Each structure stands twice: as C-alpha cells, then as structure tokens.
Structure 1
Amino acid sequence: MKAELALIAKELDELDAQREKMLVVTREITRRAREAIFALHHGDLGKAGTELERARELIKELYELKQTHPQLYYSGGVLNAQTEYVEASLLASLLAGEGLPGFEELLVEPQAYLAGLGDLVGELRRYVLNILREGMVDKAWSILEFMEEIYVELGKFSYPEALVPGLRHKVDVARVILENTRNDVLFFERSRDLAQRIERLLEAMKGR
C-alpha cells in the first residue's frame, strides 16, 4: 500500500507543478490580451501586435497541456485565458480590416471562441463611442451592424450551460449593449444633422 500511495503522491506532485505553471501562463495571457486591447483603442497597432504575438506563444504552451495534462487544460482557468485572447485577436483583425480568424487558427477551444466573440460586442461599443467623437457616424453604423450580427448568431447556440458556460449571459448582455449603442449612434446622427441644418440656415441668413 505504501508503495502505491507513494506513486500517487509523485503523480500529484507533478500535476501540482504543472498546475502552478499553467496559472502563471494563463495570467500572462490575460495580461497580454488586455494590453493589446488597450493599445488597439489608442491606435497603437504596433504594440497591440507585439502583445498578441507573445500571447500566442503562451497559447501554444497551453495547447500542449491538451495532450499531456488534459485535466488541467479543460479547467476554467485555461478557457478564461483563451477567451481574453480570442477577444483581443478578433478586435485586432476587425480594426485591421481583415477576416476574423477561426478557433482552430487561434488554437483555442470552441467554447472560448464563442465567449470571446460575445465579449467582443462590449469592446466594439467602446470603439463606436470613440469614433462617434470623431464624427464618424457612418462607420459607427457599420460596426453596429456587425455587433448585431454577432448577437443574432450567438443567440442560435441554444446548448446547455455545461457545454457553453456563460454564453447565455453574454448574449443577454450583448442585447443590452446593442440597444444602448444604437441609441447613442442615433443621438449623434441626429445631433450632427441638426448642427448641419443650423449651419446652413446661418449661412443663408448671412447671404441676405
């Protein structure tokens, strides 16, 4: 019995060491992804690219766990880090005018991809508000249309919570974000149109 328990202890020691390593990696992925998103919103595409490249290297390290320690790989911590990475990667591709990468290309699980896509709606709202301040109403409508497409498509995934954890909540949040963003774009558009009409009226009065 002692020999068997010693063997189990050895296995658990190895698993615990890998778990500690995994925690460090997932925290770093999350940090890099958030730094990339911050850089994207401030127009620093170079820094965003650097952060995402480093995050991808770490994502590859996590992916190796799928073969060696699947019980760790399929833990919530890995999926959460992958979700952050997906969100940042999709935002970067969208702002660069590129096609969105798929979950296999990003080396993440489908559930993490869906969650990251859901979180992307919130970042796109932030982007819309930024470009509205610059008067880019037409572009804001285009982004809003894409946000709505995300909401509609994610709403079709009517799977149990155990299969797609947190997705239903993200869809509900996306609906609220969509409504608020649509109201914001409408307000800016009407304000712009009103300002233009007033300006034309003032110009006409000057000509009299």
Structure 2
Amino acid sequence: MQEIIDKIIEYLKEKDGVREELIKASREIIRKCRDIVNKIHRRKLKNLDDDFSELRLLVEELRVKCKSFPDMYHSGIVQEALMEYYEAWLLYEYVKTGTLETVTDLPREDYVAFLLGLADVAGEFRRELVQFLLEDDIEKAEKFYTCIEEIYSELSRFSFPDALTPGLRRKVDRIRYILESSQNDILYAKKTRELLKVLDK
C-alpha cells in the first residue's frame, strides 16, 4: 500500500508543479494579448508583428508544458489564455488583412477556445466601430458591423449544451445586443451627417 501511495504523491507533486507553471504562463499570455488589443485600438501598429510573434511563442510553450499532463490543457486558466489568444489573433488578422478568411486551420483541442474567442472579438470590433463613427468614417464602421453580423450568424449555428461549449450561448446573446446597438449608432451617424449637409447649404 505504501508504495502505491508514494507513487501517487510523487505524481501529484509533479502535476502541481506543472500547474503552477501553467498559471504563470497563462497569465503572461493574457497580459500580452490585452497589450496587443490595446495597441490596436490606440492605432499603435508599429512592431505589432513582432509582438504577435512573441505571443505565438508563448502559446507554443504553453502547449509543450501541457504534454506531460494533457488533461491540464483543458483546465480553466489554460482555456482562458487560449480564448484571449484567439480573440487577439482574430482582431490582429482583421486589422492586418481586412478579413477573417485567413483563419482556416486549428488544432481540434482548440476548437472551443477559438469559438469563445471569436464571440469575444465582436466586442473589440464594436469598439473599432464606435471609434470610426466618432471620426465620421461611417463606411469603415459599417465594415466592422458587417463582420460582427457574420460572426453572429455563424455562431448562431451552434446549439450544443454548455458542457460542450461553456458560455457560448450567453456570448452569442451579447453579440445580438451589440448588433442592435451598433445599428442604431450607425443610423444616428448617417442622420447627423445628412442634417449637417442640409445646414451647410
């Protein structure tokens, strides 16, 4: 009995050490993601490719740390880091290319984290949309609206229980609210522009 108990203790000690490393690595990924997102919103795009290369490296290191205990890859802190990563990646790709069609392949174990990140990036697109409206660039704002609309349409296809896609349904409901608010903001901006044209005559 003592021999197997000793083995279990050693196993759990090793796993706990890996858990501590994953917590630290995940927090660093989340911090880096938020830094990249904030830079994009502030239009500080210089060196963004380098920042994202560093972020990709951190994510790959996280994957390696999980190899000895694969179940920990699906733990809350790791999945949160991956969700933030995909949110930042999608925003980065859209700002860089003007489309989300560049995202074509993912590891199967990342599918849910990707979906949750995709749902969350709608909020970041909303921030961009509002900023362009403040700059009186309605056309660019409408492009972000169209993208949010596409995200909502695609995510609405998922009707799986929360055990498979935790929190996704709630996030999709939030996107619907974002769409309604954004549509009202765009209509108001258009009416304001038309009114100003009339007043200028």
Q: Is the 8 A contact 1:131 1:140 kept in 2?
A: yes
**Counterparts in 2 of 1:1-208, with a 5 A limit?**
1-100=1-100, 101-102=102-103, 104=105, 109-200=110-201
TM-score of the pair, normalised by structure 1: 0.90
Whole-Å Cα distance in 2 between the matches of residues 195 and 77 of structure 1? 50
Q: CA RMSD in A?
A: 1.7
Whole-Å Cα distance in 2 between the matches of residues 164 and 82 of structure 1? 14
Give the structure, 1 or 2, with the largest relative contact order (CA under 8 Å, sep 6 or more): 2
Number of residue pairs matched by the alignment: 200
Whole-Å Cα distance in 2 between the matches of residues 28 and 46 of structure 1? 21
Residues 1:145 and 1:98: Cα distance change in structure 2 (over 3 Å): closer
Structure 2 residue matching 1:102: 3-state secondary structure: coil
Residues 1:84 and 1:177: Cα distance change in structure 2 (over 3 Å): same
Report percent identity of matched pairs: 35
- Measure how far apart 1:97 and its partner are: 2.0
- Measure how far apart 1:50 and its partner are: 3.3
- Output one character per residue of 1:92-144: Cα deviation in whole Å (capped at 9) or x when no partner: 11111254343745897000110000001100010011111111101111210
For residue 48 of structure 2, what is the amino acid of its counterpart? Answer: A
Q: Answer with 71-80 or 9-18: which moved more.
A: 71-80
Moved over 6 A (4+): none
Whole-Å Cα distance in 2 between the matches of residues 108 and 48 of structure 1? 27
Structure 2 residue matching 1:46: 3-state secondary structure: coil
Structure 2 residue matching 1:158: 3-state secondary structure: coil
Whole-Å Cα distance in 1 between the matches of residues 177 and 47 of structure 2? 31
Q: Is the 8 A contact 1:82 1:108 kept in 2?
A: no
Q: Which runs of 5+ in 2 are unaligned?
A: none
Q: Which runs of 5+ in 1 are unaligned?
A: 201-208
- Output one character per residue of 1:127-183: Cα deviation in whole Å (capped at 9) or x when no partner: 011111111101111210110110011010111111111100000000001111111
- Measure how far apart 1:47 and its partner are: 4.5
